[in-house]
Amino acid sequence: VIRCRAAVAWAPNEPLSVEEVEVAPPKAGEVRIKIVATGICHSDDHVLKGSLPNVEFPVILGHEGAGIVESTGEGVTSVKPGDKVIPLCLPQCGECSFCQNPESNYCQKFHFSEPQNLLPDKTSRFSCKGKQIHHFVWVSTFAEYTVVPEYAVAKIDPAAPLDKVCLFGCGFSTGYGAAINTAKVKPGSTCAVFGLGGVGLSVVMGCKAAGASRIIAVDINKDKFAKAKQLGATDCINPQDFKKPVQEVLTEMTGQGVDYSFEVVGHADTMIAALASCNMSTGVCVMVGVMDSEISIDPTLLLTGRTWKGTMFGGSWKMREDIPKLVSSYLEKKFNPDLLITHTLPFAKVNEGFDLLHAGK
């Protein structure tokens, strides 16, 4: 058993509490990882606000991490102690019908199909003050050590800087893949990206890499615009600067609406605006943000031919195979997600990280 620090969420709507926890050794088919770096994602915040379903408290959150294998359980063959790895919040079991479908990157072992608050044997490897602590989508990167199933681990290049490639565990892969894989953005096309957090800026990078000729970045926080332009946005607009709905603004800017729109906020009103801002015949709207409510739409928005689709973790990446390839492309300098990192904090200041997130910084 390893004793280490973890940021425990004891209950919703409370700050995280940095505690000493006990992390049990990995059982058969499991891997124990020393987490070196982790990002903070808005999905963690959704859990703390109680708006992500089926998560049980107390829990160790975090799902955007990178680390080094400390030990492995019986039967583990794909990684060994000392390997650099990214734990995967979307696993790749290799056995379910989705894993065996080349067009799908979803896995039926993911939390949306079956809550993953405990490891596959329905027990936890975490305890604190004599209490069982739940896992979060099996990764729980807000702990100095974590235990995950082997099929939720991607082995990466030993040269990868863990404090940078932790973003490939969720934000960068999700946004970049939404443009490349889900929308399949074509060269010369026009795109609109609603929401310029880490995932939205990764969508901008994906649209640019795909050869889009015009990328319109949309956010109510103007402080995000400089970085959006640095990463490839050609225009930046704040919906609050206009007296008309932003979808009308975008339609006027482009003549008939954009070819591709991306909603990376998770609000019903921006979802409807994103759908209405892509052209009514061949426009594609991709939902990337985790929705915080139900939504009602006018079906005629789809009747004329628009496509409305969701994406999970960047579309068709097969997680255990493709995340290592993405890391290798990063090491070859094919893209630079380092620009997404705004602050680097010591682990004890994890709550300050959430404060910066809430402040839009």
In the annotation, is 128 catalytic? Answer: no
In the annotation, is 41 catalytic? Answer: yes
C-alpha 142/C-alpha 46 separation (Å) is 15
> Computed over its alpha carbons, how large is the radius of gyration of the chain?
20
Cα 225 to chain centroid distance, Å, stands at 21
Q: Which amino acid is at 334?
A: K
C-alpha 355/C-alpha 28 separation (Å) is 39
Strand 59-60: give its sheet, edge to edge.
Answer: 59-60, 2-9, 17-23, 126-128, 131-133
In the annotation, is 63 catalytic? Answer: yes
Residue tagged active-site, from 63, 111, 134, 135: 63
- The HSE-up count of residue 198 (CA atoms within 13 Å, CB side) is 27
Closest by CA to 47, choosing from 75, 10, 84, is: 10
Q: Which helix (DSSP H) or strand (DSSP E) does residue 191 occupy?
A: strand 190-194
Residue tagged active-site, from 41, 89, 99, 166: 41
At CB < 8 A and 24+ separation, what contacts does 270-273 make? 270/194, 270/195, 271/295, 272/247, 272/297, 273/194, 273/239, 273/245, 273/246, 273/247
Residue tagged active-site, from 42, 43, 107, 140: 43
- The HSE-up count of residue 11 (CA atoms within 13 Å, CB side) is 2
Residue tagged active-site, from 46, 111, 134, 135: 46
State the CB neighbour count (10 A cutoff) for residue 224: 22
Closest by CA to 310, choosing from 157, 216, 177, is: 177
For 331-353, letters b (16+ CB in 10 Å) and e give: eeeebebeebeeeeeebeebeeb
Q: In Å, what is the CA distance from 331 to each residue of 156, 324, 326?
A: 11, 11, 9
Residue tagged active-site, from 89, 99, 166, 170: 170
Task: Say if residues 301 and 281 touch (Cβ distance below 8 Å).
Answer: no
In the annotation, is 166 catalytic? Answer: no
H helices of the chain, in order, are 42-48, 162-165, 171-177, 198-209, 225-231, 246-254, 268-277, 300-303, 319-331, 350-358
- Write out the catalytic residue numbers: 41, 43, 46, 63, 170
